[in-house]
Structure 1
């Protein structure tokens, strides 16, 4: 098993969040609820990049900033109607998901 870090983002509606993150190329891997009607805990993935989305109170704070390094920020920018900005290290966009979590997404320069 490879060691990794998987950020946990707090969401209020996991189903809606899975759809929103789908626009970034993430797909739902699995979902857990202790019982029907209880908060959901979901894993989404885009290639080897994974995120956990949690409806559980206290798992994470809204406003968290996650940096995603991708091969083609231009395509994701187009999906959201944005123009990437050029920083010394990457072409980047910044998005905020429906729950206030921030995503900075970049393709390295060079």
Structure 2
């Protein structure tokens, strides 16, 4: 197994969060819930990139910032109708905020 780090992001409604991340080409891998009415903990992945979305209040704080590097920033820009900053620190980048206030700086590195 390759080593990796998996950020945990706060989600108040895991199903809504999964639907939003689907727009970034993430797919749900699995979901854990101790029982009906308990918070859900979900894994989503985009290729080798993985995020955990947690409804558990103690797992993550709202307003977390993560950086995501993608091959085609223009596709993300078009999907979310946001401008690309051509002079971003990480390359050509844009910033998104998910439904729970988590911030994503998404970039395609300069060649």
For 1:52, what is the secondary structure of its paired residue?
strand
For 1:35, what is the secondary structure of its paired residue?
coil
Q: Which runs of 4+ in 1 moved over 4 A?
A: none
Cross-structure match for 1:29? 29
Gaps of 5+ in 1: none
TM-score by length of 2: 0.96
Gaps of 5+ in 2: none
Once the two structures are TM-superposed, the CA of residue 93 in structure 1 deviates from its matched residue by: 0.4
Cross-structure match for 2:107? 106
Cross-structure match for 1:9? 9
For 2:5, what is the secondary structure of its paired residue?
coil
Q: Distance in 2 between matches of 1:82 and 1:104?
A: 12
Q: Deviations over 1:62-95 (max 9, x none)?
A: 0000000000010011001112111254100000
Aligned ranges 1:1-110 → 2 under 5 Å: 1-87=1-87, 89-110=90-111
Q: Distance in 2 between matches of 1:42 and 1:4?
A: 17
Q: Distance in 1 between matches of 2:90 and 2:99?
A: 28
Q: CA RMSD in A?
A: 0.8
Aligned residues, how many?
A: 110
